[in-house]
Amino acid sequence: MAGGWAMVPILICSAIALAIVLERCWTLRRKSVLPPGLGEEVRQWARSGKLDPGHLETLSEGSPLGELLAAALAVRSQSRDVIKERIEDTGRHVIHRMERYLNTLGTIALIGPLLGLFGTVIGLIRMFMEVMAGGIGDPAKMAGGIGEALICTASGLTVAIPAYVLHRYFRSRVAGYCVEMEKQATALLDDLTLTNTAATPARPRRAPTPSASGAG
């Protein structure tokens, strides 16, 4: 109340930022994104060849890494280029979901100081209007306007600074997860390529055709 009505959008931004931070902390847990041992387990499944659509669907729904590896296994009988393209396409969707709401958090970090500055300007305008109407004989009125301005500024910075730090933190966490998932996908791609190469039967060599001179 002391900060005036300009505090309302700042408080709304703080509530949204808190909700995003809690949701991203839960969603971007390492064990939920990169389950321990999943990459090696999937490579063993690929070597054994005991995979069915239901198995792949369960793997895809379990975690972002599982979705990426399941996409590669779904086209495991294709060429290396086809498998790699499927991994890249699926990876873009997985990264997009991991970065969900981070743009909103970055926007809050950007507009927080601006909302505080807006409240500061409103408080100063009100102070000068009261001075113009009643003169400078009442210091309490001037102190009220200055206090409103300072409260809005402090509140905007209080929301913006943690939002910016956490936005950068979540971005770096997603980038680290992407590197780990790329390593696991590359290892699976190499295994699938070797399996396909070993499973491809060698083409029989054609017997040489007798030459005309030899026939004579």
pLDDT at residue 121 in the model: 82
Contact 184, 71 (CB under 8 A): no
36 found inside a domain: yes
Chain centroid to CA 63: how far?
A: 14
53 vs 23: which has the higher pLDDT: 23
The arithmetic mean of pLDDT across residues 140-154, rounded, is 73
Instruction: Answer yes or no: is 209 within a domain.
Output: no
Residue 141: which residues within 8 A CB-CB, separation 6 or more?
Answer: 127, 130, 131, 134
Mean pLDDT of 56-69: 89
- Tell me if 29 sits within 8 A of 177, measured CB to CB: no
Structural domain span for residue 36: 7-199
Residue 159 maps to a domain: yes
Residue 208 in any domain: the answer is: no
Which is it for the CA torsion 48, 54, 55, 60, positive or negative? positive
Per the structure, how many domains does the chain have?
A: 1
Residue 3 pLDDT exceeds 80 = no
Average pLDDT of span 177-204: 78
Looking at residue 78, the DSSP 8-state letter turns out to be S
What pLDDT is attached to residue 59? Answer: 87
pLDDT tops 90 at residue 175: yes
* Span of 26-35, 122-131, 191-200 with lowest mean pLDDT: 191-200
Q: Is residue 49 part of a domain?
A: yes
